[in-house]
Amino acid sequence: LSLGASLATPVYFKKHGKYKDLVTHHMEIPATARAGFSIHFGNHTDFAFDLKWLFYGESKWLTSGLGWKNEFLILTGIQHWLTPCFALGIGIN
């Protein structure tokens, strides 16, 4: 069993002076939070389950005029390693 979590702050870009009428706020990649676990079945097969939050609604760039809202995602999947360098997997989010 493996547990994991991550938190990323927003990443801001330089304001574009050339497109002031189109881009009224600094462009940014919104903050994210993620937590999950993976269960290892034997040496070659893994099952993973994650919860992920995308904070689009906190970004002035995405909410002003575009109306984006925060998103909550559930991600799950299974992966089987055929060789040490090649794996097959399937998942859904």
How does pLDDT run across 9-47, given as a tens digit for each residue?
Answer: 999 877 767 766 666 667 788 999 999 999 999 889 999
**What pLDDT, on the 0 to 100 scale, is given for residue 1?**
92
Query: Is 55's pLDDT higher than 70?
Result: yes
Helices (H), 37-83: 60-63
Mean pLDDT of 1-16: 89
Kindly report the pTM of this predicted structure. Answer: 0.75
Task: Identify the CA nearest to 13 among candidates 22, 26, 23.
Answer: 26
Contact present, 27 and 13 (Cβ < 8 Å): yes
Of the candidates 70, 68, 75, the residue with the CA atom closest to the CA atom of residue 90:
75
pLDDT value, residue 60: 76
